[in-house]
Amino acid sequence: MNQQPFTSRRAPIYQDIPDEKWNDWRWQLSNRLNSVEDFENVLKLTDSERKALNSQGLFRVDITPYFASLINPDDPNDPIRRQVIPTAGEISPFTGMMEDSLAEDRHSPVPGLVHRYPDRVLMLVTTQCASYCRYCTRSRIVGDPSATFTRKEFDQQIEYLKKTPQVRDVLLSGGDPLTMAPRLLEELLTRLREIPHIEIVRIGSRVPVFMPMRVTDELCDMLQKFHPLWLNIHVNHPNEITAELAQACDKLSRAGVPLGNQSVLLAGINDCVHVQRKLVQDLVRMRVRPYYLYQCDLVEGAGHFRTPVAKGIEIIEGLRGHTSGFAVPTFVVDAPGGGGKIPLGPNYLVSMSDHKIVLRNYEGYITTYEEPIQYQPHDPKTCSFCQEKRVEAGQSGVFGLLDSEDMFIKPEGFDDLHNRGGGAHRLRADENKWKPLGIGSGEE
């Protein structure tokens, strides 16, 4: 049985644009919609949309002609429209709103680099995107056309990474790295690959969704020089999945780039298990694995997008067992205040004792599992991997994970980390895990 093919769509106003222009990502960037006049060429604005577009100080509006063409012009509640065209809801404050809800600035040892987790960092490389999501977590810094990261700041980021050997995984984000000048992106990837302890490089990008024509053969040829390199895209609704996006993902996959997807749970857009099931199944058809489903962050202008956390748990329960296991994303709340991602899901563990646990499955079927009477646990004293980690910890000055005392970790030459709350972390021997300074501990 053949699958229904993904379709393409082009708004009537663009029908006469030659294909060579339409498929040129630079033309798409140069012809983005951002004014009342622009949008009225594609659809009829609602009073709420018109009010928002005429408001001062609104988060930047820019939409590629390709993505605008996916909007149903006759539906004011179109799920793509609501993601990118502002409404009066952005003007209304809400309880819990925070300027920097994830405390990224507090965990930034140098400009543009966030070190919250022990072995990986977030590297913000641009403030620009192909289009702008109305619920953007980084709306406080993203979208200013006059703002960008300087070469000096890139040098500081690279220098920090060179002096921080516990970092093995770097995620490039922003803004969107795939909007950068191709030569600059290649230069940054080259510099990262020259650092011996950087094992994994990841890119977070919505460009393949907003502007799939950016995924050229030249881009794929460049990216595959830097393996292992991973890329996460950002699709929230099945209507965003087109023949063009499928082709872009196919090119990336053939270049050896593993693909994942990160979605945000949005009220009235994808807060429905049937929408989510269609989304994840269409994603895996394109060889894109659903990775995270995020609870909407507490950012300015996003209050009308928020759902109860229970809705996300309900959706995961409606996916688990009803579709392929690898198609079920992890539902997470990115904890306000910088606590990191906290996974949430249905409770399938009903009860437990010293010899038995009671479980339920996705259908509500109750069963028991007998625990072993005798269990010989892993012995870290005879484990070569544990001993190797002890040596590595000693060499890098990190003792808290294996010894009784807590130690601060900061690379040489970055003595202001503790004061800024940046990349400095404290290892907790009693918890056997990293704990960011000052997060939920009452410590300073």
Respond yes or no: is residue 162 known to be catalytic: no
**pLDDT classification of 30: cutoffs 50, 70, 90:** very high
Respond yes or no: is residue 138 known to be catalytic: yes
The span from the CA of 422 to the CA of 340, in Å, is 14
Model pLDDT, residue 148: 81
Respond yes or no: is residue 426 known to be catalytic: no
Q: Are 129 and 175 in contact (CB under 8 A)?
A: yes
Look-up of token digits 């049937």 = 274
Which pTM does this prediction carry?
0.85
In a domain, 299, yes or no: yes
Respond yes or no: is residue 133 known to be catalytic: yes
What percentage of the chain reaches a pLDDT higher than 90? 65
**pLDDT classification of 335: cutoffs 50, 70, 90:** confident
Choose the catalytic residue: 117, 135, 160, 292. 117
The span from the CA of 256 to the CA of 292, in Å, is 21
Strands 340-344 and 330-335: what pairing?
antiparallel
| DSSP line for 265-328 | E-TTTT-SHHHHHHHHHHHHHTTEEEEEEEEPP--TT-GGG---HHHHHHHHHHHBTTB-GGG-
Q: Which region among 24-28, 61-65, 95-99 has the lowest average model confidence (pLDDT)?
A: 95-99
Q: In this structure, are 166 and 315 located in the same domain?
A: yes
Model pLDDT, residue 141: 78
pLDDT (average), residues 106-135: 89
Average pLDDT score, the chain: 85
Model pLDDT, residue 105: 61
What are the tokens at 242? 């087109």
Model pLDDT, residue 109: 87
Q: In this structure, are 46 and 127 located in the same domain?
A: no
In degrees, rounded to 5, the angle at the alpha carbon of residue 77 between the alpha carbons of residues 71 and 82 is 65
Q: In this structure, are 132 and 182 located in the same domain?
A: yes
Respond yes or no: is residue 341 known to be catalytic: yes
In a domain, 365, yes or no: no
Residue 435 has pLDDT above 80, yes or no: no
Range of the domain at 242: 105-344
Q: Are 142 and 376 in contact (CB under 8 A)?
A: no
Model pLDDT, residue 104: 58
Q: Taking Cα atoms as reference points, which of 132, 148, 128 lies closest to residue 52?
A: 132
Choose the catalytic residue: 292, 296, 334, 410. 334
Model pLDDT, residue 53: 94
Q: In this structure, are 260 and 128 located in the same domain?
A: yes
3-state secondary structure of 202: strand
Choose the catalytic residue: 32, 297, 306, 435. 297
CB neighbour burial string for 84-93, b if at least 16 within 10 angstroms, e if fewer: bbbbebbeee
Respond yes or no: is residue 82 known to be catalytic: no
Model pLDDT, residue 102: 52
pLDDT in tens, 204-260: 999 999 999 999 999 999 999 999 999 999 999 999 999 999 999 999 999 999 999
Q: In this structure, are 282 and 135 located in the same domain?
A: yes
Q: Taking Cα atoms as reference points, which of 108, 109, 28 lies closest to residue 68?
A: 28
Q: In this structure, are 151 and 79 located in the same domain?
A: no
In a domain, 42, yes or no: yes
* Cα 290 versus chain centre, distance: 11
CATH of the domain at 219: 3.20.20.70
3-state secondary structure of 179: helix
Model pLDDT, residue 444: 29
Model pLDDT, residue 420: 36
Last residue of a domain, one of 281, 313, 344: 344
In a domain, 379, yes or no: no
Residue 75 has pLDDT above 90, yes or no: yes
Residue 437 has pLDDT above 50, yes or no: no
The span from the CA of 35 to the CA of 62, in Å, is 9
Model pLDDT, residue 95: 55
Choose the catalytic residue: 32, 62, 133, 176. 133
**pLDDT classification of 85: cutoffs 50, 70, 90:** very high
Phi/psi of residue 5, each to 5°? -70, 150
Last residue of a domain, one of 63, 88, 113: 88
What are the tokens at 300? 């300015």
pLDDT in tens, 163-180: 999 999 999 998 999 999
Element housing 422 (H / E)? none
Last residue of a domain, one of 344, 374, 397: 344
Choose the catalytic residue: 129, 134, 214, 292. 129
The span from the CA of 252 to the CA of 207, in Å, is 13
In a domain, 94, yes or no: no
Q: In this structure, are 329 and 260 located in the same domain?
A: yes
> ω into residue 228 within 30 of 0, thus cis?
yes
What is the number of domains present in the chain? 3
Choose the catalytic residue: 116, 134, 202, 251. 116
Respond yes or no: is residue 50 known to be catalytic: no
Q: In this structure, are 396 and 324 located in the same domain?
A: no
In a domain, 334, yes or no: yes
Is 160 exposed, middle or buried (CB count within 10 Å of its CB: 0-12, 13-18, 19+)?
buried
Q: In this structure, are 337 and 266 located in the same domain?
A: yes
- Any idea how long the chain is? 444
Model pLDDT, residue 428: 33
Q: Which region among 255-259, 284-288, 398-402, 435-439 has the lowest average model confidence (pLDDT)?
A: 435-439
pLDDT (average), residues 11-27: 96
In a domain, 122, yes or no: yes
pLDDT (average), residues 78-101: 78
Q: In this structure, are 221 and 149 located in the same domain?
A: yes
In a domain, 126, yes or no: yes
Choose the catalytic residue: 38, 66, 136, 410. 136
Model pLDDT, residue 391: 61
Choose the catalytic residue: 32, 134, 138, 277. 138
Q: In this structure, are 73 and 174 located in the same domain?
A: no
Please give the residue that has the higher pLDDT: either 147 or 262.
Answer: 262
Dihedral of CA 224/230/235/239: which sign? Answer: positive
The span from the CA of 312 to the CA of 343, in Å, is 11
Please give the residue that has the higher pLDDT: either 420 or 363.
Answer: 363
Q: Are 176 and 232 in contact (CB under 8 A)?
A: no
3-state secondary structure of 391: helix
Q: In this structure, are 277 and 329 located in the same domain?
A: yes
